[in-house]
Amino acid sequence: MVVLNFTLTPEAAAKVHDLLVCLGKFSDTVAIEARRKSFTFTALNSSKSAYAAVGLDAKQFFTSYECIPSHGGPEGRFTCSMYMKALLSVFKGRLYDPLGRDGAIDRCEVTVQDRADQTECRFIVRMVCNQGVIKTYKLTYEAVDVMHALFDLNVAKNRWSMHAAAMKEYVEYFGTKTEMLDIFAGEEGRAVFKSYTEKITNGHEILKHPLVTAVAVNTSDFEDFNVQTGLHIIISVKDFKAIVLHADTLKTSLKAYYSRPTRPLQLSYGSDGLLCKFTLMTSGDYNASTASTPAPQVLSRQASRAESASNERPENGNTGSEMPPPNEPASRRSARRRNPGSKKPSSPRRERPDSETLFVQQDDEDSRWEPLDYNNEEETLGWDASAEHDAAVFPTFRDTARGSQIGTEDSVEALAPTQRISQIKGLW
Amino acid sequence: MRFKASIHNITTFTKLTASLNSLGPLAWVKLSDEHVCFTIIPEQGTQVWAVLSIDSIFETYTVQSAAGNVINLEVPLTSLTRALKSALNATSAQLRLTKKDSAPLLALTIAVANAPNAHAAFPATAANNDDGFDAPFDSAFGSGNRETIVTQEIPVRVLAPDTVAGLHEPQCREPDVHIILPPLLQLKSISDRFTKLAMAGVKSGAATAPSRTRLEVAANMHGCLRLSIKTDAMSISSVWTDLNNPELDPSQVTGIAEHPSTRMKQLGTADGRSDEGWASVRIDGRDWGKVMSVGRLGGRVIACECECALCFCHDHALILYVYLPSDNGEDESVLTYYVSSYSA
């Protein structure tokens, strides 16, 4: 018997869409954890190398928020897991539109139906649209225990922060298909972001090697830059891109915290009651040139345990089975990262490099000159689709009568004008 | 072996590599003291032999090698184009040949000026700050070291002189007809439309049969160009008139009186209605669409409009010359497309 009801403004619903798109780049499922004062979306990727948590503040983010977990008292929680696709088809893009065009909503009401006396447990979303239309979505969910990655800010002495819009500009230089991102605090006041691939290729294959891109940024361009000189830290470039793109939608600053390679790195940002924290696995010195890595390992391990106890333990027995993935031995994780086969992209969706750009750029003008893609379905002429002899893409009234017409003279007339007479014979 | 050059015309270079990339993934790039040559020889389809004057894309150019200061490289065009695109807003861009872990690569080093702390100071208007109106104060009084340096490393292969010795530009007899093309965008959209019509209603598997997408291109010596497509069900053609047939230069061509084009001049009319005097070739519509991709080099500025001439050897070959204007007007850059043609 859980009570969970909340209402979102269109702006907030649009932000939920944006954050789901971002989390969708990490995992196919999203976990939800509702507490009395906060609501959290979490996602963990399949190789458990990246963990994302987006916390929404009950007072700031929601118009109204009520959560009474069935047990656990003030620290109790309601947790469940849902398919990202299902949620994204509810929280579509363009929920917020000041001009009130197609798809815009007036408000979004969410309730969870989870009672012993009801036959169905559902996550119910009601999109109240502008013309009095109410769209109600009833989503299934799976009761799961939500796990949290633990991160000890006290040990993460290396920190920097930069406005997401600036960081997005740098990320756009990176070539497609690269895998790794090396963040290097160089000398002479420069930080180097280098995207590359570790794949070893030889012979003719070498020309298929993706671009290696290094962006050297003045540390004075950071809002804050406090990193041990000479430190390399390596994360997945795909994760970093996803995070930067989302941070840019919030027009906020991106902050990074890390201690040393093989220990987790945290990227965080937030505004208006929304706080995103991404805990990413890192791997070691990519060229092993710096021997000056500090070794506060024992300390960090204990501190992170201690924090985990203070933050997460006071929960009730049946929800306390948290197994924080980052506590896995660091050596094992870094070994896994070096093996390219184990790090599969969690989402098959290919991200277009400039898909977020609203404004027409030079590329678009240029695209007119691209050779035409004749296999594009939408480009084909289709005034009489029934002439297609495999199932027609556009059903027409002729489809129903086709069975009786086959073999008669009439059907010849239904051919598209470009059909060669010589080819027709073979079809019957 | 050394090669180092700064790029002064990034837009042209990017458009050039992008249009070459539509014909094939790899280019043979020959760097020498006189020219920069790009050659694409795809397994099938149109070949391009481009000879560019050095100053059309580079300045401060040095090339040194044991083989008479000539360097031959095999370059993946997709990577090169992608790298050059990231340099479009650069204040300076430099290309050099270097080695990393004994693998040769072209390193493109780009300096990008960024308005200092623009994003931090005005987060809400960050997107509008790129015009740089508020930048001069900082660049005048600030540290002056505000540039972001981006390095793009493009993997390449160095080709030995023996490897490229066997590659020769195709030889053709003197053309029957030569003509300056109408605006390429117009030509491209019409030929794309024709190709699409030819393929409409065909299952995608059958559409790959090239016999369906054969375009017939024909021209006469009276300024007419005709693009047509014929199937059993239809016959469509578009005719351009009042185009220019350039005069042959007596200093370049000997025996103009016996030249095939002189003979062709006796036949046909300027309204394009006569059946005589046409030199025609059959080409693949999709391949032609890729060739037309060179039109992007022309741009919208009339002064930069590139000039395209088409030479017809009746039933035999089609050659497209694209002349790029150069700053000093002397060393012309020419892209030569040998369009593959089919017999009837």
Confidence of residue B247 (pLDDT cuts 50, 70, 90): confident
Each residue of A80-110: pLDDT tens digit?
Answer: 999 999 999 999 888 887 776 777 888 999 9
Computed from CA positions of residues B130, B131, B134, B139, in that sequence, does the dihedral angle turn out positive or negative?
positive
pLDDT score of A353: 43
Tell me the sheet residues that pair with B97. B106
Sequence-distant (6+) residues with CB within 8 A of B316 are B172, B173, B281, B341
Question: How far apart are the C-alpha atoms of A283 and A261, rounded to whole Å?
Answer: 5
pLDDT score of A111: 92
Cα separation values, B10 from A92, A305, B15, B88, Å? 40, 54, 9, 6
Contact B12, B59 (CB under 8 A): no
A384 burial class (0-12, 13-18, 19+ CB within 10 angstroms)?
middle
Count residue pairs from A and B with Cβ separation < 8 A: 163
Contact A105, A93 (CB under 8 A): no
Summarize the confidence of residues B329-342 as an average pLDDT.
78
Ramachandran quadrant class, A38 (left: phi over 0; alpha: psi -120 to 50; beta: rest): beta
Question: How far apart are the C-alpha atoms of A171 and A236, rounded to whole Å?
Answer: 13
Question: In the block, which residue shows the tokens 């208006």?
Answer: A272
Summarize the confidence of residues B174-179 as an average pLDDT.
84
Residue numbers in B near A416 (CB within 8 A): 200-201
Question: How far apart are the C-alpha atoms of B50 and B37, rounded to whole Å?
Answer: 5
Cα separation values, A403 from A9, A171, A394, B90, Å? 53, 56, 17, 63
Tell me the sheet residues that pair with A50. A280
Of residues A300, A158, A153, the one with CA closest to residue A228: A158
Ramachandran quadrant class, A272 (left: phi over 0; alpha: psi -120 to 50; beta: rest): left
Contact A240, A254 (CB under 8 A): no
pLDDT score of B94: 94
Confidence of residue B212 (pLDDT cuts 50, 70, 90): low
Spell out the domains of chain A, with CATH numbers in brackets: 3-139 (3.70.10.10), 158-342 (3.70.10.10), 377-419 (no CATH)
Give the DSSP H or E segment for B324: strand B317-324
Inform me whether the pLDDT recorded for B33 exceeds 70.
yes
Confidence of residue B327 (pLDDT cuts 50, 70, 90): low
Cα separation values, B15 from A277, A359, A365, Å? 41, 20, 11
pLDDT score of A420: 53
Inform me whether the pLDDT recorded for B218 exceeds 50.
yes
Other Cβ atoms less than 10 A from the Cβ of B37: the count is 17
Tell me the sheet residues that pair with B100. B103
pLDDT score of A301: 40
Q: Is B79 an 8 Å CB contact of chain A?
A: yes
Question: How far apart are the C-alpha atoms of A123 and A137, rounded to whole Å?
Answer: 8
Spell out the domains of chain B, with CATH numbers in brackets: 2-165 (3.70.10.10), 177-342 (3.10.150.10)
Question: How far apart are the C-alpha atoms of B217 and B230, rounded to whole Å?
Answer: 12
Residue numbers in B near A422 (CB within 8 A): 232
Tell me the sheet residues that pair with B152. A213, B108
**Segments of chain A with pLDDT less than 70:** 100, 200-204, 285-367, 373-428
For testing the chain A interface, which of B74, B101, B110, B153 should be mutated: the one with the most A CBs within 10 Å?
B153
Q: Is B145 an 8 Å CB contact of chain A?
A: yes
| Residues 353-382, chain A, touching B (beta carbon < 8 A) | 362-363, 366, 368-372, 374-375, 379-382
Confidence of residue B136 (pLDDT cuts 50, 70, 90): very low
Question: How far apart are the C-alpha atoms of B72 and B164, rounded to whole Å?
Answer: 8
Cα separation values, B55 from A21, A26, B36, B329, B333, Å? 47, 48, 10, 11, 10
Angle CA(B69)–CA(B74)–CA(B80) in degrees, nearest 5? 105
